[in-house]
Amino acid sequence: MQTNAKTTEAMRGPKVRHFSVFLPNRVGALMELTKALGEANVHICGLDVINTADSAVLRMVVDDPGRCKDVLAQKNFAATESDAIVVELPQGPEKLAAVLSILLTAEINIEFTYSLMIRPRGKAVLLLHVEDEDFAIEMLAKAGVAVLGQSDISR
C-alpha cells in the first residue's frame, strides 16, 4: 500500500489531502469528531477551526486520509476534501516570510494556511491551500523549500 501512495505522489507531486468538516456549533461537537477518528486510529496532524453563530468548519490534515473519509461518511459528518501542500519551514522566524515571498513573487494566491502539530523531521510545517498547487510546488522546490507529501506525515 505504501508503494502505491509513493507512486501516486510522484505522479502528482507532493500533496496532502485536506478535509473541511462542517460541525454544528454546539458543545462537544469537536470532541465527537476527534473521538470517532481516534477510535478508528486516525490521527489529526493539523487543524484549524472557523466558528460562526450556527456552525463551525474544522479544517484538518490526518495521517490516514482514506480511513478518515470512511469514518466521516459512517458517522454522517458533512465534509469535503481537497489537495493542499505542506512545506517544511527552515529554522528561524524570518523563514516564514521567505516562503511567503516566493509565492508572492510567483503571484500565487494563498487561500488559507495553518500550522501542523507534527514535526516530521524536527522542523515546523505549514499547510498552504493555494489556487495552483502544482505551480506552487514547482516554485517552492526551485527555491529550495522542502515540500512534504502525504507519506511524510503518515505513519
Q: Smallest Cα–Cα separation from 147: which of 137, 139, 155? A: 137
Provide the pLDDT for residue 13.
66
d(CA 127, CA 115): 6
- Asked if the 2-83 domain carries CATH number 3.30.2130.10, the reply is yes
Assess whether pLDDT exceeds 90 at residue 110.
Answer: yes
pLDDT (tens digit per residue) in 31-53: 999 999 999 999 999 999 998 88
Mean pLDDT, the chain, integer: 88
CATH of domain 84-153: 3.30.70.260
Q: Output the nine-digit C-alpha cell for 31.
A: 470532541
What residue spans define the domains of the chain? 2-83, 84-153
- pLDDT value, residue 71: 97
| pLDDT over threshold 70, residue 5 | no
Give the pLDDT band (50/70/90) at residue 54. confident
Residue 10 has pLDDT above 70, yes or no: no
Between CA 66 and CA 59 the distance in angstroms is: 16
- Write the burial class of residue 141 (CB in 10 Å: 0-12 exposed, 13-18 middle, 19+ buried): middle
User: What are the Cα distances from residue 102, in Å, to 90, 110, 143?
Assistant: 14, 12, 7
The pTM of the full predicted model, rounded to 2 decimals, is 0.83
Q: Judge contact between 153 and 45, C-beta under 8 A.
A: yes
Residue 11 binned pLDDT confidence (cut-offs 50, 70, 90)? very low
Task: Decide if 81 contacts 100 (C-beta within 8 A).
Answer: no
User: Residue 114 and residue 91: Cα distance in Å, rounded?
Assistant: 17
What local confidence, expressed as pLDDT, does residue 95 receive?
A: 84
AA identity, residue 87: V
In which band, very low, low, confident or very high, does the pLDDT at 67 lie, cut at 50, 70 and 90?
very high
